[in-house]
Amino acid sequence: MKQKIETELLNILKEIVKIDTCYPPGSSKKFSEYVRKYLKNSGLKVKSFGVNQNKPNIVVSNKFNSSKSLVFNSHIDTVRPIVSEWKTNPFNLKIDKKYSYGLGAVNCKGSAAVHLYLAKNLNKLFPKLKSKIDFTFVTDEENLGPDGTRYLRKIKKIKPHTLILGAPTNNDFVIEERGVFWIEVEVFGKTSHAGEPQKGINSIEKSSKIINRLNTDYKKKLKKYNVGVHKSTINIGMIDGGENVNVVPYKTKIVIDRRITHKENIKKSFNEIKTYIKKIDKNVKIKFLTGTNPFKSNKSNFYLAELSKSKKLITGKNAKFLSSIGVSDGRYFADDRVNIINIGPGTGSEGHKSNEKLINKDLIDYFLILQDFLLKIN
């Protein structure tokens, strides 16, 4: 029976790896069509919601009421492959005894395959299930964009009490993440002919002074916010300046990434860096682009405790709690008192990697963990 389920899961994964959901543009229309076809006789309701008709987010529900639910979420958009680095066709899942190779097999179509199989067989596997369950298959995650999970929250099409994200963790747990926000800094100078640079004010040179101060003095100040392995960080991610090589540049734009720990919050941290930069150059324009606060779930919450027991039962190993350098869609619920749990098949470092490979055992174990978990919570 276990072998039969594993074969079915790998068949689903093979079919969804075939579907190009690469960002850009992150189209999910064909994936949505596949989900509707696959779940046609499941007895569950399948709905699509999106800002862009080519990028629908799919919500699959077992109950049609407004109560809070247990949500299983997986993002189905992927990065675009560097085909020359792949040893196989990235859209054709290659399966051997231990691994499966394909684009998104780990991040995050492996968990999507398990969630699809659970949805299709939900009423058969759990005939006495009382809980409201939603499965969401979302896009716009690789873009850190607003049109995926964030949009579903905004329009209240999902209201989780517990959000299980199918992130690749080798079926261990990530239950806390740093917050993140991006800001844009515009630095202004004065144009002149490059042959007489002394008559102008070079905005690129002014920007370099700001960058240097941020990467030295300001970076040292952030150490007070560090919490264990979670570091408060700053990264100058983009710089764009100048009008022409023979003109002293008038305007330069810097885009900054800030990661914040549980000692911080976005409002305070944004005002702090804004004040710091303004002291260097009072004429800059600073714009907040996007961001979400850090989150930390309670290790003793009921759903996490039961998932941990299921992990131990299926794998024989105690639950491990991992730190994350990145951010997940759970961040959109950071301020909502939601149990946020990242658990899924595959190794995180395989995501975004050429020749991405999934451990086949992780896939079946993930299903068995969720199956045991759902049997216990009712």
Cα–Cα dist 360/101, whole Å: 10
Q: Nearest-CA neighbor of 285 among 181, 185, 207? A: 185
Give the model's pLDDT for residue 103. 98
The β-bridge partners of 165 are 73, 342
Torsion of CA 49, 55, 61, 64, to 10 degrees: 10
DSSP-derived 3-state class of residue 351: coil
SS3 content of the chain, % helix, strand, coil (to 5): 35, 25, 40
347-350 contacts, C-beta under 8 A, 24 or more apart: 347/106, 347/168, 347/170, 348/106, 348/107, 348/167, 348/168, 348/169, 348/170, 348/324, 350/105, 350/106, 350/107, 350/168
Q: Are strands 69-75 and 133-138 parallel, antiparallel or unpaired?
A: parallel
Helix (H) or strand (E) holding 114: helix 109-120
Give the model's pLDDT for residue 49. 98
Give the model's pLDDT for residue 323. 84
Sequence-distant (6+) residues with CB within 8 A of 30 are 19, 20, 21
Upper half-sphere CA count for residue 68 (Cβ side, 13 Å): 8
- Go through the domains of the chain in sequence order and give each one's CATH number: 2-177+295-376 (3.40.630.10), 179-292 (3.30.70.360)
Give the model's pLDDT for residue 117. 98
Is the separation of the CB atoms in 169 and 308 below 8 Å? no
Cα–Cα dist 111/123, whole Å: 20
Give the model's pLDDT for residue 66. 82
Length of the chain: 378
Cα–Cα dist 148/106, whole Å: 19
- List the chain pLDDT tens, one digit each, 378 residues: 899 999 999 999 999 999 999 999 999 999 999 999 999 999 999 999 999 999 999 999 999 888 999 999 999 999 999 999 999 999 999 999 999 999 999 999 999 999 999 999 999 999 999 999 999 999 999 988 899 999 999 999 999 999 999 999 999 999 999 999 999 999 999 999 999 999 999 999 999 999 999 999 999 999 999 998 899 999 999 999 999 999 999 999 999 999 999 999 999 999 999 999 999 999 999 999 999 999 999 988 999 999 999 999 999 999 999 988 888 999 999 999 999 999 999 999 999 999 999 999 999 999 999 999 999 987
DSSP-derived 3-state class of residue 147: coil
Give the model's pLDDT for residue 145. 87
Is the separation of the CB atoms in 76 and 138 below 8 Å? yes
In Å, how far are 102, 123, 300, 360 from 365, measured between CA atoms? 19, 21, 23, 9
In Å, how far are 92, 109, 167, 351 from 346, measured between CA atoms? 18, 10, 8, 9
Cα–Cα dist 1/54, whole Å: 38
Is the separation of the CB atoms in 58 and 32 below 8 Å? yes
